[in-house]
Structure 1
């Protein structure tokens, strides 16, 4: 008879571990921290797996038994590492624990006036609640819903309000200015706070388009301008003008045709202007949008609601969207009474939560996405948090991304039955992997594997990060190290 664990067996083990003691339902999560067994004997193969292939810097890992709760082995388990996007797993738990699984973001069109015969007497207010998943297509549905009320014009102003969220210019100032994964943050966000820049060379001149591109709508952007200049590096330069944003692009870098996403640094104003354009196609005429504080009394005319929190988290885990992680973290901090004016303050609040609820005593977060390289976690803290995650939300492993096991050559291992559900994390010269193996092994386990060379990362200029072959080579080899360690554990546990 096989000793491999199936999903049904794992669920039974988990239920038994949660219900075995009458105190389990009320005991604090901290009391369940996996404790190292007396003088655990490491597998002889672990050091070999961690050192193959060879990479610079340091590596650390830990693995714990999900059925019995014990730390099986570790290497540099109390050393601190940059977690990169593995941070998102902690942010997801922070949001689930603080906001609840029924939480949704809401974006509304409201008024303190009244609508009669197609005319709104008063102001129309676009109110944001921080939804990081809002798209142009969703905004198009909001515009259509407003048009169905019969509204054609307004006598007052078109206002936009971001509630208690202050606009944050970018997640990490150490990143290149033009990368779409380092967006601004606001109470109103659209398309991950990016615009699509497309170009085509025709008769020696460039045709360009800047669009808030969706699947069903492609409105031209009015609040972002583009200038093509004959010059060398840098390829992209950003300027914030008084009433618009400007991207300056080096002509020599464009080629004949192409397209890419560029960040928007004034997302609230941008979202309002895109909505104004979409409403125009619905026959609703509005004046230029203006910023405003949230008014006290309003009547909601149309509403756009996000997916439930677990669905948002699942997409975040799959696509590793930084804006989603940051807005979930800010929303959780706001709900628990913390300060959300700056990312670092909100991240400190999450750090305190992680110490109290997950017993992560030696970890520190500076943001909610892991984009900043100054956050630190230990392998032991991480596997302990993953075990206690099952008490916060038993289905948490199912929100993580399925990782395909690989053989010693780096090819997909089709003979392995191991089900790896994990979060990856990648920065230049930083690679992390943490999660669960719940099927196809003798006993299910939680794991964390970190590799980093912060000295090499510090030497790498921000402008060179997009093109560094050495960094990409290092990161590929670090991922091979992680797969080697997982393969050894899955074979021997």
Structure 2
């Protein structure tokens, strides 16, 4: 594996080249740059492969933007529409995660604290339990899938250690670090029920989803529906499913109206078949506090009150007050781990939480009333500030979210190339390795686990981020040539009418051709 080289080595190579030119000129010699035949051959080979690929019949009318760069020399091996603007889909996550690593550091961790605001007498808390959110997306997340409630159960243990067996007041969720806008600008309304469009919030539990299973029974009967965590009654499920014969087609159909937590399930399922889907909830703060209350009851801690949002309180909590006492804290995995999940799984909610975290932790200075702390707009300004430091022309970039789910994002291949170069050459090894390792490996893991397989030249070699919306496909990252020369590549395709797997096949053909280059 070729890891990102240091900026010092590249800089020194360039300095030596410049010094040699000065010495030759000083000696009275006439120096004329000669084209490198190896580079010329590589460019010709790549140009033919790419041109033949993108001009094939399935992609007629599609709009391609491509740039390939030798990261050792900085030479552009190929460019096509490199300065045009494209909708990049989830390639936006490259910008978000790079900015988060640079601004927060790979070792950054979220902290979610649990407080009580009253005295404890005879095991009874005469007050409220308050959870102070920080935007952490990991509670009940990927590393806790076997038991999403494990953090809540630890908090129950902490309450017992504090001598609390009953809470006389409410469970209050403080989501105030983030703005109250739950969805990204320009997101499609029909994405809302599905996990990839989960609501953004200062408090997150189980990625703000429920995990539903629909299992067929005997033909003609409704299917059996269950969901986790806890088959919580925070949601209501209308079972309009049917078990159909095995010789007929099955399908999945879910609907959740805006502003409601009622799911209509109209799936058709075969006998014994199980369909699984993660579905979003609305009002994540109430979901968080509601499930926390259910867990506390299961763990033997009674709660007289209910779960509420801090916005329902007439006076916000004063965490410095003498009556306020912290009884538990959850610290997230490191940002290095969170960024890896974001890019490996193309996890939209994680990316959106990171974007808004950039609008809370050391946010950019602003006097604009529209750029509020914790907002996506202020977060995108922070991302652009980091891009500007990487010498990206931010006047020709439009960002409205952190995940790429919106079609209002516009980025050029040139901007993405410069970011990839910057994260390879210009940043420290800790940041560079965290970014590089966050990208899935072709044929092995993440969103490109099933691509670049069966001995493909780029198998186990390419590290890249995918991006997919209807009629939009992207693949950008790093690959090494046969002799280990590191290349960056950006392949964006907009307005295609081909099947998604056909566009991916074209991208894979291009990347495999890069991996086959001899130098």
C-alpha distance after superposition, 1:127-154 (max 9, x if no partner): 2111111102333333333333331012
Matched residue of 2:59: which SS? coil
C-alpha distance after superposition, 1:101-157 (max 9, x if no partner): 221112221123333442223221012111111102333333333333331012333
1:106 to 102, 111, 125: 111
CA 12–89 in structure 1, closer or farther in 2 if over 3 Å, else same = closer
Matched residue of 1:300: which SS? strand
Contact 2:82 2:412 in 1 (8 A): yes
**Aligned residue in 1 for 2:264:** 248
CA 478–283 in structure 1, closer or farther in 2 if over 3 Å, else same = same
CA 175–71 in structure 1, closer or farther in 2 if over 3 Å, else same = farther
Contact 1:110 1:125 in 2 (8 A): yes
Check if 1:336 corresponds to 2:362. yes
Contact 2:119 2:126 in 1 (8 A): yes
Check if 1:145 corresponds to 2:158. yes
Structure 2 residue runs of 5 or longer lacking an equivalent are: 16-33, 141-147, 243-250, 311-315, 365-371
C-alpha distance after superposition, 1:235-270 (max 9, x if no partner): 4332467xx6212233x6455553322111111110
Contact 2:457 2:516 in 1 (8 A): no
Matched residue of 1:192: which SS? helix
Matched residue of 2:380: which SS? helix
Matched residue of 2:509: which SS? helix
CA 48–134 in structure 1, closer or farther in 2 if over 3 Å, else same = same
1:15 Cα shift? 5.0
Count of residue pairs brought into register by the alignment: 443
Check if 1:179 corresponds to 2:179. no
Matched residue of 1:333: which SS? coil
Check if 1:51 corresponds to 2:58. no
1:303 to 311, 317, 329: 329
Task: List structure 1 runs of 4+ shifted beyond 6 angstroms.
Answer: 19-22, 37-41
**Aligned residue in 1 for 2:507:** 482
**Aligned residue in 2 for 1:211:** 228
* CA RMSD after TM alignment: 3.2
C-alpha distance after superposition, 1:339-366 (max 9, x if no partner): 3565355335423542344414322212
Alignment of 1:119-268 (within 5 A): 119-135=124-140, 136=148, 137-171=150-184, 172-200=187-215, 204-212=221-229, 219-229=230-240, 235-239=253-257, 245-250=261-266, 253=268, 256=271, 258-268=275-285
Q: Within 2, Cα distance between the matches of 1:224 and 1:173?
A: 23
CA 416–452 in structure 1, closer or farther in 2 if over 3 Å, else same = closer
1:368 Cα shift? 0.4
Contact 2:466 2:475 in 1 (8 A): yes
Q: Which range moved further: 374-383 or 194-203? A: 194-203
Contact 1:163 1:294 in 2 (8 A): no
Check if 1:366 corresponds to 2:384. no
Q: Within 2, Cα distance between the matches of 1:234 and 1:279?
A: 34
CA 439–139 in structure 1, closer or farther in 2 if over 3 Å, else same = farther
Matched residue of 1:403: which SS? coil
Who wins on radius of gyration, i.e. which is larger?
2
C-alpha distance after superposition, 1:174-230 (max 9, x if no partner): 443322211111111111111122344668455433322xxxxxx121211112348
Alignment of 1:59-138 (within 5 A): 59-135=64-140, 136=148, 137-138=150-151
**Aligned residue in 2 for 1:3:** none
Q: Within 2, Cα distance between the matches of 1:183 and 1:299?
A: 32
Q: Within 1, Cα distance between the matches of 2:56 and 2:6?
A: 34
1:307 Cα shift? 0.3
CA 79–412 in structure 1, closer or farther in 2 if over 3 Å, else same = farther
**Aligned residue in 1 for 2:342:** 316
Structure 1 residue runs of 5 or longer lacking an equivalent are: 1-5, 23-36, 213-218, 457-472
Q: Within 2, Cα distance between the matches of 1:240 and 1:430?
A: 26
TM-score by length of 2: 0.77
Q: Within 2, Cα distance between the matches of 1:38 and 1:73?
A: 16
Q: Which range moved further: 307-316 or 116-125? A: 116-125
Q: Within 2, Cα distance between the matches of 1:185 and 1:134?
A: 14
